[in-house]
Amino acid sequence: MKRLNLRLIGLVMLAATPLVQANEPPAQSEALPQRSPDYACTQCHQQEREAMHGKHALATNPNNLGPVTCTHCHGKPSPQHREGVKDVMRFHHSLDEMPGEMAFPIAEQNGVCLSCHEPKPLREALWAHDVHATKLTCTSCHALHQAKEPMVGLSDKARIGLCVDCHGKQHAKKLAMGKEAP
């Protein structure tokens, strides 16, 4: 009789196991986006719709391990964005004559880039990163959306040519203004 009771208890437990599992909450699954995270941006900024090429298009954001999107670099627009308020990062070349009131300070622009790109590897790749980091925006030399980054693969001679061109323009501008050139 004792064996029969043990067998019955075993069968009951075996039969009850699927019921216990059925009452447990389902395992969390990762939800995949149903549309492009850049969709809202590219509805107005149509020229940028196909512009995410090159390294950034294939990059993984080291902060969230997801793909790089418009808002990772430019920030989230406010409800007044369509009215032209200064709410998202607008990158510009540091040496533009008149970047306008919509321009963000160099430190803020470069801070966006440095949130993913570590300073040490940049410094090791080229000394100019360190020298110019507080005086020029990253976008003064680097292109964000092009299929081919213009600075990648440049020969040393071509890099020196860029230095001479840029510093030559600055020198000419300062001479014209009667100031000392860099």
pLDDT tens digits, one per residue of 17-33: 444 444 555 555 555 55
The encoded tokens of residue 177 equal 């203004």
CB 142 within 8 A of CB 152: no
The domain ranges of the chain are 43-77+86-151, 153-182
Instruction: Give the mean pLDDT of the chain.
Output: 77
Give the pTM.
Answer: 0.68
Given a cut of 60, whether residue 160 has pLDDT beyond it is yes
For the chain, give the percent of residues with pLDDT over 90.
5
d(CA 163, CA 104): 24
pLDDT at 46: 81
Given a cut of 50, whether residue 64 has pLDDT beyond it is yes
The distance between the two most distant Cα atoms of the chain, rounded to a whole number of Å, is: 111
The encoded tokens of residue 112 equal 């966006």
pLDDT at 4: 47
Given a cut of 50, whether residue 56 has pLDDT beyond it is yes
B/e letters for 148-175, b = 16+ CB within 10 Å, e = fewer, are: ebeeeeeeeeeeeeeeeebeeeeeeeee
Given a cut of 60, whether residue 83 has pLDDT beyond it is yes
pLDDT at 179: 65
